[in-house]
Amino acid sequence: MSKTTTFLAFLCLSFSCTLLMAEEAPLYDHKAIRDASTLDVKVLQDWHVVKGTVPTRQKLVTINVGEIWEGQDYRVPVRMIVPADRKAKGFHLTGSNSPARLKEDTQFGRWEQELLRGGIGFVKTVVQEPGTYGERELAIASEARFAKTLNPHYKIQYWAWPATLMRAITTAYAEKEHFEKGKVAMSGGSKNGASPSMAILHDDRMTAVQATVSPIWDSPLRLCDRKAWDELEKQPGKRGGFSGGHFGPSFNGRVLDAGHTWEDLQKFAKDISDDVFISRNLEALRKRKVDMLFHPGTHDCVAYDLAWGGSHHPSIPVYLAANTGHGKKGKHPGSVRNVQNKAAFMLRHFFPDKMKPLLTSPEVKHEIKDGVLKVTVRFKPGSGDESGRIYWIFDRAPDGSPNYLNEYIPDENWAEMKHDTKRGVWTAEIKLDPKASRIDFFTNHRKTLDYEGQAYPTYLSCPYTRVSW
Protein backbone atom coordinates (compact mmCIF):
# COMPACT_ATOMS: atom_id res chain seq x y z
CA MET A 1 0.00 0.00 0.00
CA SER A 2 1.34 3.44 -0.96
CA LYS A 3 2.04 6.15 1.61
CA THR A 4 -0.77 8.32 0.17
CA THR A 5 -3.27 5.46 0.27
CA THR A 6 -2.30 4.66 3.85
CA PHE A 7 -2.72 8.30 4.86
CA LEU A 8 -6.17 8.59 3.30
CA ALA A 9 -7.33 5.34 4.83
CA PHE A 10 -6.11 6.46 8.24
CA LEU A 11 -8.03 9.73 8.01
CA CYS A 12 -11.21 7.99 6.93
CA LEU A 13 -10.93 5.77 9.97
CA SER A 14 -9.85 8.47 12.42
CA PHE A 15 -12.09 11.35 11.38
CA SER A 16 -15.37 9.45 10.86
CA CYS A 17 -15.83 9.96 7.16
CA THR A 18 -19.25 8.30 6.85
CA LEU A 19 -22.57 9.10 8.44
CA LEU A 20 -22.68 5.70 10.12
CA MET A 21 -19.29 6.26 11.73
CA ALA A 22 -20.30 9.80 12.77
CA GLU A 23 -23.25 8.34 14.65
CA GLU A 24 -21.13 5.71 16.39
CA ALA A 25 -17.88 7.61 17.01
CA PRO A 26 -17.06 10.84 18.83
CA LEU A 27 -16.99 14.01 16.77
CA TYR A 28 -13.18 14.17 17.12
CA ASP A 29 -10.63 11.40 17.26
CA HIS A 30 -8.24 12.83 19.84
CA LYS A 31 -5.39 10.49 18.93
CA ALA A 32 -5.65 11.46 15.27
CA ILE A 33 -5.88 15.18 16.10
CA ARG A 34 -2.53 14.96 17.92
CA ASP A 35 -0.78 12.84 15.30
CA ALA A 36 1.79 15.14 13.68
CA SER A 37 2.66 12.53 11.03
CA THR A 38 -0.64 13.18 9.20
CA LEU A 39 -0.30 16.98 9.00
CA ASP A 40 1.26 16.79 5.51
CA VAL A 41 3.17 20.02 6.24
CA LYS A 42 4.17 22.19 3.31
CA VAL A 43 6.66 24.93 4.20
CA LEU A 44 5.93 28.32 2.63
CA GLN A 45 8.44 30.34 4.72
CA ASP A 46 11.00 28.56 6.88
CA TRP A 47 12.12 29.85 10.27
CA HIS A 48 13.54 33.37 9.94
CA VAL A 49 14.22 36.32 12.23
CA VAL A 50 11.78 39.23 12.17
CA LYS A 51 13.06 42.50 13.58
CA GLY A 52 10.85 44.60 15.83
CA THR A 53 10.55 46.07 19.31
CA VAL A 54 10.73 42.46 20.45
CA PRO A 55 12.52 40.38 17.76
CA THR A 56 10.93 37.06 16.85
CA ARG A 57 11.47 33.97 14.76
CA GLN A 58 8.59 33.05 12.46
CA LYS A 59 7.62 30.21 10.16
CA LEU A 60 4.67 29.80 7.76
CA VAL A 61 3.32 26.43 6.66
CA THR A 62 0.14 24.88 5.37
CA ILE A 63 -1.29 21.74 6.98
CA ASN A 64 -3.99 19.19 6.32
CA VAL A 65 -6.54 19.37 9.12
CA GLY A 66 -8.10 16.15 7.82
CA GLU A 67 -10.89 15.04 5.50
CA ILE A 68 -14.33 16.60 5.79
CA TRP A 69 -15.59 13.71 3.70
CA GLU A 70 -13.75 10.99 1.87
CA GLY A 71 -11.35 12.50 -0.64
CA GLN A 72 -11.90 16.10 0.46
CA ASP A 73 -8.97 17.51 2.42
CA TYR A 74 -9.30 20.64 4.53
CA ARG A 75 -6.05 22.59 4.38
CA VAL A 76 -5.15 25.82 6.18
CA PRO A 77 -2.05 27.98 6.67
CA VAL A 78 -0.40 28.25 10.09
CA ARG A 79 2.10 30.93 11.13
CA MET A 80 4.23 30.10 14.18
CA ILE A 81 6.02 32.80 16.14
CA VAL A 82 8.49 32.50 19.03
CA PRO A 83 10.88 34.91 20.78
CA ALA A 84 14.12 35.35 18.84
CA ASP A 85 16.34 34.26 21.71
CA ARG A 86 14.62 31.12 23.07
CA LYS A 87 11.92 28.52 22.75
CA ALA A 88 8.36 29.53 23.50
CA LYS A 89 6.70 27.83 26.44
CA GLY A 90 2.99 28.12 25.68
CA PHE A 91 1.34 30.40 23.16
CA HIS A 92 -1.61 32.53 22.19
CA LEU A 93 -3.69 30.89 19.45
CA THR A 94 -6.16 32.55 17.11
CA GLY A 95 -7.89 31.86 13.81
CA SER A 96 -8.75 35.52 13.22
CA ASN A 97 -6.59 35.76 10.11
CA SER A 98 -6.76 35.39 6.34
CA PRO A 99 -4.37 33.40 4.14
CA ALA A 100 -3.22 36.64 2.50
CA ARG A 101 -2.50 38.32 5.83
CA LEU A 102 -0.57 35.32 7.12
CA LYS A 103 1.88 35.62 4.24
CA GLU A 104 3.24 38.76 5.90
CA ASP A 105 5.46 38.68 8.97
CA THR A 106 3.57 39.62 12.13
CA GLN A 107 4.33 42.67 14.27
CA PHE A 108 2.89 43.06 17.75
CA GLY A 109 1.22 45.57 20.06
CA ARG A 110 2.10 46.33 23.66
CA TRP A 111 0.50 43.44 25.56
CA GLU A 112 1.58 40.95 22.90
CA GLN A 113 5.15 42.19 23.26
CA GLU A 114 4.89 41.55 26.99
CA LEU A 115 3.95 37.94 26.26
CA LEU A 116 6.95 37.57 23.96
CA ARG A 117 9.27 39.08 26.57
CA GLY A 118 7.96 36.49 29.01
CA GLY A 119 8.71 33.62 26.62
CA ILE A 120 5.20 33.11 25.21
CA GLY A 121 4.73 32.41 21.50
CA PHE A 122 1.93 32.93 19.00
CA VAL A 123 0.23 30.57 16.58
CA LYS A 124 -2.02 32.06 13.92
CA THR A 125 -4.24 30.11 11.56
CA VAL A 126 -7.42 30.64 9.52
CA VAL A 127 -10.92 30.11 10.87
CA GLN A 128 -12.95 31.84 8.17
CA GLU A 129 -15.63 31.02 5.62
CA PRO A 130 -13.80 29.18 2.80
CA GLY A 131 -15.57 31.38 0.27
CA THR A 132 -13.64 34.40 1.55
CA TYR A 133 -10.39 32.91 0.30
CA GLY A 134 -11.46 31.24 -2.94
CA GLU A 135 -13.02 27.99 -1.70
CA ARG A 136 -16.69 28.82 -2.22
CA GLU A 137 -17.54 25.45 -3.79
CA LEU A 138 -16.19 23.65 -0.74
CA ALA A 139 -18.39 25.75 1.55
CA ILE A 140 -21.49 25.11 -0.59
CA ALA A 141 -20.83 21.38 -0.79
CA SER A 142 -20.27 21.18 2.94
CA GLU A 143 -23.61 22.84 3.73
CA ALA A 144 -25.44 20.64 1.22
CA ARG A 145 -24.01 17.44 2.68
CA PHE A 146 -24.86 18.53 6.20
CA ALA A 147 -28.45 19.46 5.31
CA LYS A 148 -28.95 16.07 3.69
CA THR A 149 -27.35 13.92 6.41
CA LEU A 150 -27.22 16.00 9.63
CA ASN A 151 -23.70 14.64 10.02
CA PRO A 152 -21.82 17.34 11.99
CA HIS A 153 -18.51 16.18 10.54
CA TYR A 154 -19.60 17.57 7.16
CA LYS A 155 -20.33 21.02 8.57
CA ILE A 156 -17.26 23.26 8.68
CA GLN A 157 -18.59 25.10 11.71
CA TYR A 158 -18.85 21.96 13.85
CA TRP A 159 -15.84 19.98 12.72
CA ALA A 160 -13.34 21.84 10.54
CA TRP A 161 -12.96 25.09 12.47
CA PRO A 162 -12.46 23.62 15.97
CA ALA A 163 -10.28 20.88 14.46
CA THR A 164 -8.18 23.58 12.75
CA LEU A 165 -7.31 25.07 16.13
CA MET A 166 -6.50 21.68 17.63
CA ARG A 167 -4.35 20.67 14.67
CA ALA A 168 -2.53 24.02 14.85
CA ILE A 169 -1.42 23.08 18.37
CA THR A 170 -0.15 19.76 17.05
CA THR A 171 1.75 21.64 14.33
CA ALA A 172 3.45 23.93 16.84
CA TYR A 173 4.39 21.17 19.25
CA ALA A 174 5.96 19.20 16.40
CA GLU A 175 8.49 22.07 16.17
CA LYS A 176 10.40 20.77 19.18
CA GLU A 177 13.34 23.13 18.66
CA HIS A 178 11.04 26.12 18.95
CA PHE A 179 8.13 25.22 21.27
CA GLU A 180 7.93 23.66 24.71
CA LYS A 181 4.58 22.48 26.00
CA GLY A 182 2.83 25.05 28.14
CA LYS A 183 -0.40 26.99 28.39
CA VAL A 184 -2.47 27.62 25.23
CA ALA A 185 -4.84 30.59 25.42
CA MET A 186 -7.28 31.54 22.65
CA SER A 187 -9.23 34.67 21.80
CA GLY A 188 -11.46 35.94 19.03
CA GLY A 189 -14.88 37.14 18.03
CA SER A 190 -17.85 35.63 16.18
CA LYS A 191 -16.71 32.35 14.56
CA ASN A 192 -13.35 32.93 16.24
CA GLY A 193 -15.11 33.13 19.57
CA ALA A 194 -17.34 30.13 18.93
CA SER A 195 -14.66 27.82 17.51
CA PRO A 196 -12.26 28.18 20.48
CA SER A 197 -15.19 27.83 22.89
CA MET A 198 -16.04 24.51 21.26
CA ALA A 199 -12.48 23.30 20.74
CA ILE A 200 -11.52 23.83 24.38
CA LEU A 201 -14.14 21.27 25.40
CA HIS A 202 -12.30 18.59 23.43
CA ASP A 203 -8.61 19.42 23.81
CA ASP A 204 -7.08 19.63 27.27
CA ARG A 205 -3.96 21.23 25.81
CA MET A 206 -6.05 24.41 25.66
CA THR A 207 -6.12 26.34 28.92
CA ALA A 208 -8.01 29.62 28.37
CA VAL A 209 -10.61 31.24 26.10
CA GLN A 210 -11.66 34.89 25.80
CA ALA A 211 -14.51 35.08 23.30
CA THR A 212 -16.74 37.88 21.99
CA VAL A 213 -20.13 37.92 20.20
CA SER A 214 -20.39 34.14 20.18
CA PRO A 215 -22.59 31.43 21.74
CA ILE A 216 -22.11 30.34 25.35
CA TRP A 217 -25.20 28.46 26.52
CA ASP A 218 -27.83 25.98 25.39
CA SER A 219 -31.06 28.00 25.46
CA PRO A 220 -34.40 26.56 24.23
CA LEU A 221 -34.14 28.30 20.85
CA ARG A 222 -30.77 26.64 20.25
CA LEU A 223 -32.23 23.26 21.15
CA CYS A 224 -35.08 23.73 18.64
CA ASP A 225 -37.76 23.83 21.31
CA ARG A 226 -41.05 24.31 19.43
CA LYS A 227 -42.59 26.58 22.06
CA ALA A 228 -39.58 28.91 21.94
CA TRP A 229 -39.56 28.91 18.15
CA ASP A 230 -43.32 29.56 17.93
CA GLU A 231 -42.79 32.60 20.16
CA LEU A 232 -39.90 33.82 18.01
CA GLU A 233 -41.71 33.35 14.72
CA LYS A 234 -44.76 35.34 15.78
CA GLN A 235 -42.65 38.39 16.67
CA PRO A 236 -42.94 41.39 14.31
CA GLY A 237 -40.11 42.30 11.98
CA LYS A 238 -37.82 40.35 9.70
CA ARG A 239 -35.56 37.89 11.47
CA GLY A 240 -32.03 37.44 10.08
CA GLY A 241 -30.29 34.17 9.31
CA PHE A 242 -28.28 34.06 12.53
CA SER A 243 -30.78 34.78 15.28
CA GLY A 244 -32.19 31.50 16.52
CA GLY A 245 -29.33 29.40 15.18
CA HIS A 246 -27.93 26.53 17.22
CA PHE A 247 -24.29 27.66 17.19
CA GLY A 248 -24.22 30.30 14.47
CA PRO A 249 -26.35 30.82 11.35
CA SER A 250 -29.72 29.08 11.58
CA PHE A 251 -29.81 26.01 9.37
CA ASN A 252 -33.31 24.87 10.35
CA GLY A 253 -34.97 25.93 7.10
CA ARG A 254 -32.38 24.24 4.88
CA VAL A 255 -32.54 21.04 6.89
CA LEU A 256 -36.33 20.96 6.79
CA ASP A 257 -36.28 21.66 3.04
CA ALA A 258 -33.94 18.68 2.63
CA GLY A 259 -36.65 16.39 4.02
CA HIS A 260 -35.91 16.31 7.76
CA THR A 261 -38.41 17.04 10.51
CA TRP A 262 -38.47 19.19 13.63
CA GLU A 263 -37.95 16.00 15.60
CA ASP A 264 -34.77 15.38 13.58
CA LEU A 265 -33.57 18.90 14.40
CA GLN A 266 -34.32 18.41 18.08
CA LYS A 267 -32.49 15.10 18.17
CA PHE A 268 -29.48 16.60 16.42
CA ALA A 269 -29.35 19.55 18.82
CA LYS A 270 -29.73 17.25 21.83
CA ASP A 271 -27.05 14.84 20.63
CA ILE A 272 -24.39 17.42 19.76
CA SER A 273 -24.88 20.10 22.41
CA ASP A 274 -22.59 18.45 24.96
CA ASP A 275 -19.85 18.79 22.32
CA VAL A 276 -20.63 22.44 21.71
CA PHE A 277 -21.62 24.58 24.68
CA ILE A 278 -19.49 25.97 27.48
CA SER A 279 -22.56 25.87 29.73
CA ARG A 280 -22.78 22.08 29.52
CA ASN A 281 -19.14 21.58 30.49
CA LEU A 282 -18.55 24.03 33.32
CA GLU A 283 -17.69 21.43 35.94
CA ALA A 284 -15.09 19.75 33.72
CA LEU A 285 -13.60 23.07 32.59
CA ARG A 286 -13.28 24.33 36.14
CA LYS A 287 -11.73 21.05 37.21
CA ARG A 288 -9.11 21.66 34.50
CA LYS A 289 -8.71 25.24 35.85
CA VAL A 290 -9.55 26.74 32.46
CA ASP A 291 -9.73 30.55 32.45
CA MET A 292 -12.79 32.00 30.70
CA LEU A 293 -14.18 35.43 29.87
CA PHE A 294 -16.97 36.26 27.44
CA HIS A 295 -18.15 39.48 25.77
CA PRO A 296 -21.48 38.42 24.21
CA GLY A 297 -22.78 41.89 23.34
CA THR A 298 -26.20 43.14 24.43
CA HIS A 299 -27.72 43.23 20.93
CA ASP A 300 -25.96 40.42 19.12
CA CYS A 301 -27.57 38.15 16.52
CA VAL A 302 -25.43 35.15 17.55
CA ALA A 303 -25.39 35.69 21.32
CA TYR A 304 -29.09 36.50 21.23
CA ASP A 305 -30.22 34.85 24.47
CA LEU A 306 -28.84 36.96 27.31
CA ALA A 307 -31.92 36.78 29.51
CA TRP A 308 -31.96 32.98 29.47
CA GLY A 309 -28.22 32.70 29.97
CA GLY A 310 -28.10 35.18 32.83
CA SER A 311 -30.87 33.31 34.61
CA HIS A 312 -29.54 29.78 34.12
CA HIS A 313 -25.76 30.31 34.18
CA PRO A 314 -25.00 33.30 36.41
CA SER A 315 -21.52 32.04 37.28
CA ILE A 316 -20.16 32.30 33.72
CA PRO A 317 -18.07 35.51 33.62
CA VAL A 318 -19.36 38.06 31.10
CA TYR A 319 -18.71 41.69 30.28
CA LEU A 320 -21.67 43.44 28.66
CA ALA A 321 -21.18 46.71 26.80
CA ALA A 322 -24.44 48.56 26.09
CA ASN A 323 -25.84 48.34 22.55
CA THR A 324 -23.06 46.12 21.17
CA GLY A 325 -23.03 43.10 18.90
CA HIS A 326 -22.49 42.15 15.26
CA GLY A 327 -22.87 45.30 13.18
CA LYS A 328 -23.64 47.49 16.21
CA LYS A 329 -21.62 50.63 16.89
CA GLY A 330 -22.15 50.35 20.62
CA LYS A 331 -22.64 54.06 21.15
CA HIS A 332 -24.17 54.77 24.53
CA PRO A 333 -23.40 57.82 26.69
CA GLY A 334 -22.99 55.61 29.74
CA SER A 335 -20.47 53.25 28.18
CA VAL A 336 -17.21 52.79 30.02
CA ARG A 337 -13.99 53.64 28.20
CA ASN A 338 -10.53 52.08 27.79
CA VAL A 339 -11.56 48.50 28.53
CA GLN A 340 -8.40 46.35 28.60
CA ASN A 341 -10.01 42.99 29.29
CA LYS A 342 -8.25 40.89 26.66
CA ALA A 343 -4.79 42.21 27.42
CA ALA A 344 -5.22 41.75 31.18
CA PHE A 345 -6.84 38.33 30.72
CA MET A 346 -3.90 37.05 28.67
CA LEU A 347 -1.20 38.54 30.88
CA ARG A 348 -2.84 37.18 34.02
CA HIS A 349 -3.28 33.74 32.45
CA PHE A 350 0.33 33.35 31.40
CA PHE A 351 1.92 35.22 34.31
CA PRO A 352 -0.29 34.66 37.37
CA ASP A 353 2.56 35.47 39.75
CA LYS A 354 2.95 38.95 38.28
CA MET A 355 -0.68 40.06 38.14
CA LYS A 356 -3.72 39.96 40.41
CA PRO A 357 -6.81 38.08 39.20
CA LEU A 358 -9.67 39.63 37.29
CA LEU A 359 -13.07 39.94 38.92
CA THR A 360 -15.28 36.87 39.13
CA SER A 361 -19.05 36.88 38.58
CA PRO A 362 -20.87 38.66 41.40
CA GLU A 363 -24.18 37.81 43.03
CA VAL A 364 -27.11 40.03 42.07
CA LYS A 365 -30.34 40.47 44.00
CA HIS A 366 -33.37 42.67 43.44
CA GLU A 367 -36.70 43.62 44.96
CA ILE A 368 -39.60 45.84 43.91
CA LYS A 369 -41.06 48.23 46.46
CA ASP A 370 -43.36 51.21 45.89
CA GLY A 371 -42.74 51.26 42.15
CA VAL A 372 -38.96 51.15 42.53
CA LEU A 373 -36.57 48.34 41.60
CA LYS A 374 -33.81 48.01 44.16
CA VAL A 375 -30.68 46.22 42.92
CA THR A 376 -27.82 44.87 45.03
CA VAL A 377 -24.59 43.45 43.56
CA ARG A 378 -22.11 41.66 45.79
CA PHE A 379 -18.59 40.49 44.96
CA LYS A 380 -16.59 38.14 47.13
CA PRO A 381 -14.74 39.98 49.93
CA GLY A 382 -11.38 41.33 48.80
CA SER A 383 -12.22 41.16 45.08
CA GLY A 384 -10.95 44.67 44.42
CA ASP A 385 -14.05 46.00 42.64
CA GLU A 386 -13.70 49.77 42.24
CA SER A 387 -16.87 51.02 40.57
CA GLY A 388 -20.45 50.18 39.68
CA ARG A 389 -22.65 51.32 36.81
CA ILE A 390 -26.11 50.01 35.90
CA TYR A 391 -28.04 49.94 32.60
CA TRP A 392 -31.66 48.99 31.93
CA ILE A 393 -34.40 48.67 29.32
CA PHE A 394 -38.16 48.23 29.80
CA ASP A 395 -40.31 45.63 28.01
CA ARG A 396 -37.50 44.31 25.88
CA ALA A 397 -38.68 41.97 23.13
CA PRO A 398 -38.10 38.19 23.50
CA ASP A 399 -34.62 36.73 22.96
CA GLY A 400 -33.60 36.49 19.33
CA SER A 401 -36.47 38.57 17.94
CA PRO A 402 -35.96 41.48 15.50
CA ASN A 403 -36.90 44.07 18.12
CA TYR A 404 -34.58 42.42 20.67
CA LEU A 405 -31.74 43.18 18.27
CA ASN A 406 -32.85 46.59 17.00
CA GLU A 407 -34.41 48.43 19.94
CA TYR A 408 -31.51 49.84 21.93
CA ILE A 409 -31.00 50.70 25.57
CA PRO A 410 -32.13 54.34 25.78
CA ASP A 411 -29.42 56.93 26.30
CA GLU A 412 -30.84 58.01 29.64
CA ASN A 413 -31.17 54.51 31.09
CA TRP A 414 -27.98 54.25 33.09
CA ALA A 415 -26.69 55.40 36.46
CA GLU A 416 -23.69 55.22 38.74
CA MET A 417 -24.20 52.77 41.58
CA LYS A 418 -23.55 53.54 45.24
CA HIS A 419 -21.06 51.53 47.25
CA ASP A 420 -22.27 50.47 50.68
CA THR A 421 -18.93 49.97 52.43
CA LYS A 422 -20.53 48.55 55.55
CA ARG A 423 -22.33 45.77 53.66
CA GLY A 424 -19.70 45.47 50.93
CA VAL A 425 -22.23 45.81 48.08
CA TRP A 426 -23.11 48.04 45.14
CA THR A 427 -26.67 49.39 45.13
CA ALA A 428 -28.99 51.18 42.71
CA GLU A 429 -32.63 52.19 42.55
CA ILE A 430 -34.60 52.42 39.30
CA LYS A 431 -38.02 54.03 39.13
CA LEU A 432 -40.24 51.64 37.19
CA ASP A 433 -42.24 52.72 34.17
CA PRO A 434 -45.92 52.32 35.19
CA LYS A 435 -46.77 51.32 31.61
CA ALA A 436 -44.16 48.53 31.54
CA SER A 437 -44.46 44.95 32.75
CA ARG A 438 -40.80 43.98 32.92
CA ILE A 439 -37.28 45.35 33.03
CA ASP A 440 -33.91 43.97 31.90
CA PHE A 441 -30.77 45.22 33.62
CA PHE A 442 -27.05 44.55 33.98
CA THR A 443 -24.09 46.27 35.62
CA ASN A 444 -20.43 47.03 34.87
CA HIS A 445 -17.72 46.99 37.52
CA ARG A 446 -14.08 48.07 37.16
CA LYS A 447 -10.93 46.56 38.59
CA THR A 448 -7.61 48.09 37.58
CA LEU A 449 -4.76 45.61 37.31
CA ASP A 450 -1.03 46.27 37.07
CA TYR A 451 1.57 44.48 34.99
CA GLU A 452 5.15 45.71 35.09
CA GLY A 453 4.01 49.21 36.09
CA GLN A 454 1.35 49.46 33.36
CA ALA A 455 -2.32 49.88 34.41
CA TYR A 456 -4.97 47.70 32.74
CA PRO A 457 -8.59 48.71 33.52
CA THR A 458 -10.81 45.61 33.38
CA TYR A 459 -14.58 45.32 33.63
CA LEU A 460 -17.04 42.57 34.52
CA SER A 461 -20.84 42.55 34.58
CA CYS A 462 -23.35 41.01 36.90
CA PRO A 463 -25.53 38.32 35.29
CA TYR A 464 -28.01 39.83 32.82
CA THR A 465 -31.29 39.92 34.71
CA ARG A 466 -34.94 40.13 33.59
CA VAL A 467 -37.63 41.02 36.14
CA SER A 468 -41.37 40.84 35.46
CA TRP A 469 -44.25 42.08 37.59
Contacts of 214 (CB under 8 A, 6+ apart): 189, 190, 191, 192, 193, 194, 197, 294, 296, 302, 303
Predicted local distance difference test score (pLDDT) of residue 10: 40
Q: What is the mean pLDDT of residues 195-216?
A: 98
Kindly list the structural domains of the chain, giving each domain's residue range(s) and its CATH number in brackets, ordered by start: 3-359 (3.40.50)
d(CA 320, CA 326): 13
Tell me the backbone φ, ψ of residue 211, rounded to 5 degrees: -125, 140
Q: What kind and span of H or E run contains 380?
A: none
d(CA 344, CA 357): 9
d(CA 246, CA 249): 7
β-pairing, 454-461 with 414-416?
unpaired
> Is residue 405 over pLDDT 90?
yes
First to last CA, the chain: 72
**How high is the mean pLDDT of the chain?**
94
Predicted local distance difference test score (pLDDT) of residue 186: 98
- Summarize pLDDT for 151-190 with one digit per residue, the tens: 999 999 999 999 999 999 999 999 999 999 999 999 999 9
Question: Which pTM was predicted?
Answer: 0.93
